[in-house]
């Protein structure tokens, strides 16, 4: 134990997929000052990528690295095809009266009206880009969700808890910071995923903050801490399994 098995080649560092919400013909929310959500999400995604790659403990892929439209299904496919360890979707939507950062995981039943409304609007993104999602009957939705492996779900929940803890004290938070709803982009059955609303462009204070690179760097730093915390505990579990396997 403790000595690496020479027969087993070293695995590459885990891959984290960062998803900059919206893009191209789909600008996302637009603040009163004219800020487009698609620009804020891309700037934050590039900053988070830079911070994560600096540590060398994970690889990072982006669902988009420029102002292009990417359908929700294609965003999920990138994470699944490349066997990502994690999927983090970045947004800064609009929600009347709401202010501060919040984190969302997938659930069949939304935790509250705000989360339900966000998911409903996000799931229309493909229509804004000129495509329509095939309509999925509710019973198929239920089956898809029940196919999500239990560990994927608990991984998503753990990532969300770590993200809320890391953001707490750094930036303003929406009350009940961790919420749940049926976001299409979180539906990969095998990749733990969370959607982060970094703030709401409908709130002038959030819009001003999200336009500042220093504020986005602070958000990215908290999310990087959460991602690395998640990967560290995941690796500890894997190492334990490895030690058991090698015991004979
Ligand atoms: Zn959005």
SS3 for 47? helix
Buried b (16+ CB within 10 A) or exposed e, 184-196: bbbbbeebbbbbb
Can you tell me the distance from the alpha carbon of 50 to that of 224, in angstroms, rounded to the nearest whole number? 10
**What pairs with residue 16 in β-bridges?**
60, 86
The rounded Å distance from CA 92 to ligand 1 centre is 6
Please state whether the predicted TM-score (pTM) of the whole model is above 0.95.
Answer: no
The rounded Å distance from CA 224 to ligand 1 centre is 20
C-alpha 228, offset from chain centre: 14
The rounded Å distance from CA 235 to ligand 1 centre is 31
Cβ neighbour number for residue 232 with a 10 Å cutoff: 10
Per-residue pLDDT of the chain (248 residues; tens, 9 = 90+): 455 566 677 788 999 999 999 999 999 999 999 999 999 999 999 999 999 999 899 999 999 999 999 999 899 999 999 999 999 999 999 999 999 999 999 988 899 999 999 999 998 877 655 444 456 677 766 666 666 667 899 999 999 999 999 999 999 999 999 999 989 899 887 899 999 999 999 999 999 999 999 999 999 999 999 999 999 987 555 555 544 443 33
Can you tell me the distance from the alpha carbon of 195 to that of 200, in angstroms, rounded to the nearest whole number? 13
The rounded Å distance from CA 152 to ligand 1 centre is 23
Which single residue is written with the structure tokens 């600096």?
Answer: 54
């Amino acid at each position: 134990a403790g000595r690496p098995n020479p027969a087993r080649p070293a695995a590459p560092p885990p891959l984290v997929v960062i998803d900059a919400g919206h893009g191209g013909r789909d600008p996302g929310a637009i603040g009163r000052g004219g800020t487009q959500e698609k620009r804020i999400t891309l700037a934050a995604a590039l900053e988070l990528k830079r911070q994560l790659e600096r540590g060398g403990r994970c690889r990072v892929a982006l669902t988009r690295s420029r102002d292009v439209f990417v359908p929700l299904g294609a965003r999920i496919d990138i994470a699944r095809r490349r066997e990502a360890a994690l999927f983090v979707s970045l947004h800064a939507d609009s929600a009347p009266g709401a202010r501060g950062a919040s984190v969302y995981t997938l659930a069949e039943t939304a935790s509250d009206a705000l989360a339900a409304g966000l998911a409903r609007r996000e799931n229309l993104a493909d229509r804004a880009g000129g495509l329509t999602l095939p309509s999925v009957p509710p019973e198929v939705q239920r089956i898809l969700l029940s196919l999500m492996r239990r560990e994927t779900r608990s991984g998503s929940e753990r990532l969300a808890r770590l993200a809320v803890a890391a953001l707490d004290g750094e930036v303003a938070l929406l009350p009940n910071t961790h919420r749940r709803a049926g976001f299409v982009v979180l539906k990969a059955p095998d990749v733990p995923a969370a959607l982060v609303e970094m703030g709401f462009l409908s709130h002038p204070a959030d819009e001003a903050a999200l336009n500042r690179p220093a504020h986005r760097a602070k958000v990215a730093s908290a999310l990087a801490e959460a991602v690395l915390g998640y990967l560290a505990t995941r690796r500890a579990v894997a190492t334990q399994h490895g030690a058991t396997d090698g015991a004979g």
